[in-house]
Amino acid sequence: MATGYLSVFDGPRTPLFLAPQAGVSESPFRRLCRAFGADVVVSEFVSAEGIVRQNERTLDYLRFDEVERPIGVQIFGADPEAMGDAAAFVTEAFGPDFVDINFGCPVKKIVKRNGGSGCLRDLDLVERIIRAVDDATALPVTAKIRSGFDQSSRDPVTIALRCQDAGAQVVTLHPRTRADMYSGFARWDEIAAVVEALEVPVVGNGDVRTGVDALRMREETGCAGVMIARGSHGDPWIFKQARAALDGAVIPPGPTVEERFQVCLEHARNAIAFESERHRAVREFRKHLGWYTKGLPNGKSLRQELFQVETLEEMEGHLERYLEEARARGWADQPVDEGELADGVAPRAAVASA
């Protein structure tokens, strides 16, 4: 039986992962998702070069709270020696539960330096990086990959096998190529093929937007874990719904508008407290405000106001005024199922009871 982080794959429960996402999976959001049922969280991806240079902002991304465990720190880079040095430093200075290597990021500024999914153009380099990291830390080393750099190099099974052979103890596959970016559909059949080929646990990632999607992914692929990325944006309760679906329990309804705002403000307060510069924290939180209010009745005008806020007090004021109108119209406390919301349209339950 595995011990430590790898023990999450023991037993009948399928673990749920919050994906590493730059500018999204900061500590406050990780803690929130853990509270809603995420079993494992991963840091934003962090530059190995920045870690080695002891860049202050880079090191700030590595902070986490004990309640977040099990947590992995994800690093990226194209220099095996720097990746090994970064893994050793992270292990000694921060002590996460595992070190994850990013071979999946498709962003141009990362790829042009051969980082992220850029490494997939050279599988020998992928192996050297994994071996260097594995040699530098006693923690489990895992890898997050895409299906290839482009269509001509699309071969997720070979990529995953190379990762396993180099020492990766878990492989997460997002079954799109770098060229796909986030377009089209994730090919879950490729996750199933990797599950069949590998001996180590395989985590599936891509197009999990509801609790039912998490169950479908497990049933269609046989994956050992389910990772949720964009589906969590403004929606941490997706983990509660996914947990219920995976366990065969009744899936709870979506949050009411009032509950949605309560979670949003809890997230905002924690994010502001976590940052050293309050105004920057508020500005960076605006994207979350967009996600938390997406689809709400008359949400477009609300978002226009929220995208201008400079303080927590302004944020609270706009949300409270919106809630007052929602209460007056009788739908502030109505459960809102994902997919039912549309700008300018009240929740279906409120219409039915009107």
Active site residues: 105
Q: How far apart are CA 222 and CA 45, in angstroms?
A: 27
Question: Can you name the residues that pair with 156 across neighbouring β-strands?
Answer: none
SS3 (DSSP) at 107: coil
Asked whether the beta carbons of 46 and 38 are under 8 A apart, the reply is no
Q: How far apart are CA 146 and CA 28, in angstroms?
A: 27
b/e string for 185-199 if b means 16 or more Cβ within 10 A?
ebbbebbbbbbeebe
Identify each DSSP E strand in 23-116 by its residue range. 40-42, 46-47, 71-76, 98-103
Q: How far apart are CA 234 and CA 160, in angstroms?
A: 31
Could you tell me how many residues make up the chain?
A: 354
The secondary structure of residue 256, as a DSSP letter, is P
Q: Please count the CA atoms within 13 angstroms of the CA of 214 that sit on its side-chain side.
A: 29
Q: How far apart are CA 59 and CA 77, in angstroms?
A: 15
SS3 (DSSP) at 35: helix
